[in-house]
Amino acid sequence: MTFDISALKFNADGLIPVVVQDASTQEVLMLAYMNETALKQTLESQEATYYSRSRQTLWKKGETSGHIQTVKELRYDCDEDTLLMKVDQQGVACHTLHKSCFYRSFEGDIPATASVLDEVYATIKDRKARPKEGSYTTYLFNEGIDKILKKVGEESAEVIIAAKGDSEEDLINETSDLLYHLSVLLNEKNISFESVYQCLKDRQH
């Protein structure tokens, strides 16, 4: 990836703001900053590296969480003092485990969309890496694949039973249970939802 860094105007602290956008959905994920070194590392690796103003150091996105951002496109604005970076986001962008850092509005939380699956997956992944006593998710991972598969089977049957009934609420609840347990299964097998999304997208053609 080539980019003319000399065209950019870094601020007095040697930083430039970066608006980060999901390359597939166009959702704005976060706002961060880069210095020249972070930008060069990003261009060389094609994985996002930023500069932390609070810690005064470089940080590679996803280095500890696994929520890596692969750069697909990089632009700069008309004043040459702001970057727009489009990325493939692994997992979620926000440290709160929301898909986007902009998950709130002045009217309250933004209504849930399909991105909540990525948030659930990220929470489950975190629980797998950092087991918590009393956590049902931790319990499932401790029990192993057979227990997880048993629960997926049970929840699938519950969805079928709910669909045969007349309660919309029951079907919503059972579908949510199934999606949660499928998320646990995918985590156990180290398969991301991004892979599932791509499979579905490929089938559209």
CATH number at residue 136: 1.10.287.1080
Do 77 and 119 lie in a common domain? no
State residue 118's pLDDT score: 83
b/e sequence 2-41, b meaning 16+ C-beta within 10 Å:
eeeeeebebeeeebbebbbbbbeeebebbebbbbeebbeb
CA distances from 154 to 94, 145, 193 (A): 33, 14, 21
Quickly list DSSP for 153-184: HHHHHHHHHHHHSS-HHHHHHHHHHHHHHHHH
Q: Is 102 domain-assigned?
A: no
Q: Which two tokens stand for residue 127?
A: 């629980």
Instruction: Name the residue with higher pLDDT: 195 or 19.
Output: 19
Q: Count how many domains the chain has.
A: 2
Q: Is the pLDDT of residue 190 over 80?
A: yes
Per the domain annotation, does 162 fall within a domain? Answer: yes
In a domain, 98, yes or no: no
pTM of the model: 0.65
**For residue range 153-183, what is the model confidence (pLDDT) as tens digits?**
999 999 999 999 999 999 999 999 999 999 9
Q: Are residues 117 and 198 in the same domain?
A: yes
Predicted local distance difference test score (pLDDT) of residue 35 = 97
Say what percent of the chain tops pLDDT 90: 68
Q: Quick one: 71 and 121 in the same domain?
A: no
pLDDT digits (tens, 9 = 90+) for 80-114: 999 999 999 988 899 888 889 998 887 776 666 66
* pLDDT above 60 (res 26): yes
Domain, as residue range, for 119: 112-202
> Is 104 a domain residue?
no
- Cα distances from 107 to residues 27, 103, 110, 157, in angstroms, run 19, 11, 8, 38
72 shares a domain with 36: yes
Q: Do residues 48 and 82 share a domain?
A: yes
Whether the pLDDT of residue 1 is over 60: the answer is: no
What pLDDT does 143 receive?
97
| The predicted structure's pLDDT at residue 109 | 67
85 and 129 belong to one structural domain: no
CATH of the domain at 22: 3.10.20.810
